[in-house]
Amino acid sequence: MARVTAGALRRRAQRRSATTAGDEKKMPLRRQAILQALCIFVTLTVLFPIIWVVSLSLDPRDLSRPDGLNLIPPGASLDKYADAVNTPTSNPVSFWELAFNSLKLAVATSFFSVAIGVFAAYAFSRLQFRGRQFLMLAILAVLMLPAVATIAPLFLQLNAVRIGDFNLRASLAGVGLAVVSGLLPFAIWNLKGYLDTIPKELEEAAAVDGASRHQAFFHVILPLAVPALAVTAFLGFIAGWTEFYFSVTFLENVKDWTLAVALNSMVGQFATTTPWAKFSAFAILFALPVSLVYLLLQKYIVAGLAIGGVKG
Amino acid sequence: MSVATAATTARPPRRLGLPGRDARTAYLYIAPALLVMAIITFYPLIFQVYISFTDFQFKNLLPRNPGPEWVGLENYARIVESRLGNQFFNFARMLSFNLWWAFANVVIHVIIGVGVALLLNQPGLKFKRFYRAIFILPVVIPAIIVATVWKNMFHRDSGAINELLTGVGMLFKIPEQAFQIDWLRAPNDILPLMPLAFFALLIANTWLGWPLNSVVATGALQSIPKELYEAADMDGAGPWQKFRNVTLVYLRPAMVPYAIYGFVTTFNLFHLSFFMTGGEPQGKTELLVTQAFRLVYQQREYGIGAAFAVLMFFILLAITLLVNRAAKATASFDQ
């Protein structure tokens, strides 16, 4: 008796909320208007600073202090963008060299952290072995340590690796190693969390079909983990692209500078006045690649974060 | 279970392969990560502890320098007793400020994030996808830019915030001069530990922080089976009861780990404090991380910097262990 009722309930409920997101339900106009107004208000608060930067970057007057609320400054032009590209800093290094350095760093750190991390994440997620709990804790412990905290020892450590004229510390490779030192634990933790949500039954089914552990990993799990891999790779890319502490502390040669370091030299405490327009133009050029990558991966990223939330 | 039953039941094996093989695969998979981490993640930490007991400074990096001297706990003592030669440095205050900063931010971000998630989850609301795409924008912008833009906006003389306030004030006939607020440098605490700069930082960080909370909350909200709400409806539950007994129950397991993660990230949030306020006024918005950075980058005091970092590690460890118990973050798939 009870079973019939529950089943009927479920069927009735399913018929009413027939579409998945329930988006087709109608909402009374007044409620829609109020909620839309709220959403628009939130949108404005989110967009305002962004519009502000863009407007600053279009202002041809080289102001060292902001000039009121003019959203479209008089004589708006793209001058400052050209300026930023031609003379990004007072040093003899071109914008493209800076960008290339940033790109090298970001891609390398992103790739290695994900490539190495996914294997370890799988092991933590699926396999039993001695020391598992301890290692997991060690990784967590390192995770909450900010990158800043490892500058001193990494500086000295990398400084000790000298081959002829080449000092590992003062090179992009050294900075890359420093970034990966922090990225790898994060990648492992993040990927493990996602792998945990993939049902074990899938590998068991693969085992019944005669697949080995390795085959199960490569052919069953990895394809399913693509959203998580994309998210982790993207976050790693952002970390490398915007990385600043190690670059500014380790690098010596201006030719090795990344965009982030150049950006900092404009507003860091050694800058006397901030050329807001040029900085804004530079900032937008700096943020653009990251934003583009985000837009491409947006579906996966939001899904990855949402699933990560559900796993609890 | 008899052998016959086991043989005839077509159940998949509970574990892939023998335990021994499992372990070997595990070690193989973990080896590269462990190797890399051992060299660049774990070893530096140990090395750091060693350095923290010496007086390693810039001069020790020069060639032909004999090397740093052992000073024992001197570095630690100097930090805890606030004897770093910087008149504004107060360790106890910095630590309290850091903790309060992280806590206040997380609470506000979660509330706003969940609020907006609930807002966007209303069935029948139009343009949801548009809003969701826009709301995630703050996260995409690199932190240094966020910090500098907000610094610009909080500028005393004609930053956007003061201009907006003046504009609104004019509607209420408040004179223009009233809103020349020096957000970033006014030296007095409005509330204990909280100068105006704190609120400026809070506003900027909230702008940056609530969208991700909202994404996590949305994921959780969308996993709630609708039947639960309908069952509650049939039991005659009002909206508040439905929220408490259905929504919150599903939200908590998602938001709690994220809130903890948010607490730690906010605690270590370098860019806003460093680029927006620079620790002003008078070192009051300095965080442990920014102070640690200054010690290494500006003052080249590697020994003291290392001691500072070690102290930071233990503080963070204590915090994380305390809350980790609640979140059980290390639980594996089958526990």
ipTM of the complex: 0.73
In 3D, which of B213, B17, B206 has the Cα closest to residue B114? B213
In A, minimum Cα distance to B306 occurs at A152
pLDDT at A2 (0 to 100): 44
pLDDT average, residue stretch A49-74: 66
CA dihedral sign of residues B87, B89, B92, B97: positive
Q: Give residue B4's pLDDT.
A: 46
Residue A75: predicted pLDDT: 58
Name the residue with higher pLDDT: B294 or A15: B294
What are the phi and psi torsion angles at A58 (to 5°)? -90, -5
- Note whether B156 contacts A: Cβ–Cβ < 8 A: no
What's the whole-number mean pLDDT along residues B39-61? 82
Q: Which of the two residues, B13 and A67, has the higher pLDDT score?
A: A67
Question: Which residues from B are below 8 Å from A48, CB to CB?
Answer: 160
pLDDT at A224: 84
pLDDT at A109: 93
Q: State the smallest CA–CA distance between residue B190 and chain A in angstroms.
A: 25
Q: What percent of chain A has pLDDT over 70?
A: 72
Cβ–Cβ gap B230/A276 under 8 Å? no
Who wins on pLDDT, B158 or A141?
A141
A97-115 pLDDT per residue, tens? 888 888 999 999 999 999 9
Min Cα distance B189 → chain A (Å) is 24
Residues of B in contact with A140 (CB under 8 A): 320, 324, 329-330
Confidence of residue B13 (pLDDT cuts 50, 70, 90): very low
Indicate the pLDDT class of residue A135, thresholds 50, 70 and 90. Answer: confident
Q: Find the CB nearest B32 among A66, A116, A157.
A: A116
Encode pLDDT of B72-90 as tens digits. Answer: 888 888 888 877 767 677 8
DSSP 8-state symbol, A200 = T
- Residue A36: CB partners within 8 Å, gap ≥ 6? B125, B126, B127
CA distance A123 to A150: 27
* Min distance A22 CA to chain B CA atoms (Å): 6
Kindly determine whether residue A184 and residue B26, on different chains, have CB atoms separated by under 8 Å: no
Residue A282: pLDDT band by 50, 70, 90 thresholds? confident
> Residue B195: beta bridge partners?
B189
Query: From the list A129, A185, A195, which residue is nearest B22 (CB)?
Result: A129
Query: CB–CB of B312 and A137 under 8 A?
Result: no
pLDDT of residue A145: 75
Give the model confidence (pLDDT) of B207-228 as tens digits: 998 988 888 888 888 888 888 8
pLDDT digits (tens, 9 = 90+) for A251-271: 888 788 888 888 877 776 554
Q: Determine the pLDDT at residue A305.
A: 55
Mean pLDDT of A277-289: 81
Mean pLDDT taken over chain A = 76
Q: Which residues of B touch A263 (CB under 8 A)?
A: 144-145
> CA A61 from chain center: how many Å?
34
- The pLDDT score that the predictor gives to residue A290 is 80
Q: Who has greater pLDDT, A104 or B247? A: A104
The confidence score (pLDDT) of residue B104 equals 93
Residues of B in contact with A117 (CB under 8 A): 33
A105 to A85, A179, A294: CA distances (angstroms)? 20, 9, 18
User: Given a cut of 90, is residue B112 above it in pLDDT?
Assistant: yes
pLDDT of residue B332: 33
Predicted pLDDT of residue B2: 45
**Under 8 Å between Cβ of A134 and A67:** no
pLDDT recorded at residue A262: 82
User: Average pLDDT in the A177-194 region?
Assistant: 87
Q: Return the DSSP state at B178.
A: G
Which span out of A84-93, A114-123, B147-156 was modeled with the highest average pLDDT? A114-123
For residues B301 and B291, give the distance between their C-alpha atoms in angstroms, rounded to a whole number. Answer: 12
Nearest C-alpha of chain B: how many angstroms from A307? Answer: 6
pLDDT class of A303 with cuts at 50, 70, 90 = low
Is residue A214 within 8 angstroms of chain B, CB to CB? yes
Interface contact A70, partner B, CB < 8 A:
no
Q: How many Cβ pairs closer than 8 A exist between chain A and B?
A: 330
Report, as an integer, the average pLDDT of A159-173. 79
Res B329: pLDDT: 47
